[in-house]
């Protein structure tokens, strides 16, 4: 499957590779195909539980099965007995003092194995199991560690999907800053304009006040100038008469 990917990639990349003469060796590397066969022994097959069956501890079972069709069950035993008697009678096997020591040693060994074989086998099996359990632990720990790393990687990949929150926040901040500066400048503009307009208004007010004062002064001066001596005497006499009238009224009022 990977080879197909490489081939398609090479096919799409080939036009641009052909144009670039510098990448000649690269094109050759890209078209080589690796690992096309099915992987053999990929999960290593487990060890068989028991070995080949052996009878009497010496002769494999296949021999008995080989002779079974022709001679039945007792065939190989008869063959063994016959061979032993033949060797003894023809003295192919010579009976020496060593024979007796051999017989006693072999007898002792057989007895010992028959008696203690099973317990020794159990003990060794337990040792084996401990070793296997240790290795299994290491394997499980390694698997777990790799899975943890995968989880971490996935979560970090997921984080990159959430980058847009960061960018949104930054965009919001920038927009707010822009808004704030805009409003500040607007306010400044308003203040400046108001300042100018206030200036004009105050100038106008001042002008009007000055004109008013000037006019009043001028009117007063003219009126004072226009009052001749005679008019002054007449007005003073009239004022005195009015005052006398008012005083009479005032005297009359409290009595009522």
Partner 1 sequence: MDVKLGELSSWILTRDFTPKGITGAFQRGYNRYYNKYINVRKGSIAGVNMVLAAYVLFSYCLSYKELKHERRRKYH
Nearer to partner 1, 49 or 250 (CB): 49
Q: Which of 82, 117, 150, 154 binds partner 1 (CB under 8 A)?
A: 117
Q: Whose structure tokens read 């002792």?
A: 108
Please tell me whether residue 90 binds partner 1 under the rule CB under 8 A.
yes
Q: Which of 58, 223, 252, 256 binds partner 1 (CB under 8 A)?
A: 58
CA 222 to chain centre: 98
Residue 76: CB atoms within 10 Å:
19
Binding range to partner 1, per CB under 8 A, among 93-101, 147-155, 227-235, 236-244: 93-101
Nearest one of 27, 30, 26, 34 to 1, comparing CA atoms:
34
How many binding residues for partner 1 (CB under 8 A)? Answer: 22
x-marked contacts with partner 1 along 175-194 as a string, rule CB under 8 A: --------------------
Please tell me whether residue 113 binds partner 1 under the rule CB under 8 A.
yes
Please tell me whether residue 50 binds partner 1 under the rule CB under 8 A.
yes
CA 137 to each of CA 43, 83, 141, 144, 167: distance values in angstroms, whole numbers, following the listed order: 18, 54, 6, 10, 46
Nearer to partner 1, 43 or 57 (CB): 57
Directed axis angle between helix 61-71 and helix 75-89, to 10°? Answer: 100
Nearer to partner 1, 125 or 151 (CB): 125
Please tell me whether residue 37 binds partner 1 under the rule CB under 8 A.
no
Q: Which of 15, 43, 51, 69 binds partner 1 (CB under 8 A)?
A: 51
Distance CA 256, CA 252 (A): 7
Q: What is the DSSP string of 93-115?
A: S---HHHHHHHHHHHHHHHHHHH
Binding interface with partner 1 (CB under 8 A): 47-52, 54, 57-58, 60, 89-91, 93-96, 113, 117, 121, 125, 128
């Amino acid at each position: 499957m990977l080879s197909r990917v490489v081939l398609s990639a090479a096919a799409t990349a080939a036009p641009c590779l052909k144009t670039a003469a510098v990448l000649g060796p690269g094109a050759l590397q890209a078209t080589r195909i690796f690992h096309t066969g099915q992987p053999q022994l990929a999960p290593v097959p487990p060890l068989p539980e028991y070995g080949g069956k052996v009878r009497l501890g010496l002769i494999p079972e296949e021999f008995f099965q080989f002779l079974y069709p022709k001679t039945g069950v007792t065939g190989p035993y008869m063959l063994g007995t016959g061979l032993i008697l033949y060797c003894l009678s023809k003295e192919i096997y010579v009976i020496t003092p060593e024979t007796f020591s051999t017989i006693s040693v072999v007898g002792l060994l057989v007895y010992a194995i028959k008696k203690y074989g099973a317990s020794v086998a159990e003990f060794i099996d337990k040792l084996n199991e401990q070793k296997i359990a240790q290795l299994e632990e290491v394997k499980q720990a390694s698997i777990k560690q790799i899975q943890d790393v995968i989880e971490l990687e996935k979560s970090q990949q997921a984080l990159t999907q959430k980058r847009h929150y960061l960018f949104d926040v930054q965009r919001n901040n920038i927009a707010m800053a822009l808004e704030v500066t805009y409003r500040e400048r607007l306010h400044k503009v308003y203040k400046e304009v108001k300042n100018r307009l206030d200036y004009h208004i105050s100038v106008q007010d001042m002008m009007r006040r000055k004109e008013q004062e000037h006019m009043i002064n001028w009117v007063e001066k003219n009126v004072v100038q226009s009052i001749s001596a005679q008019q002054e005497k007449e007005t003073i006499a009239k004022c005195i008469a009015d005052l006398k009238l008012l005083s009479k009224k005032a005297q009359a009022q409290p009595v009522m």
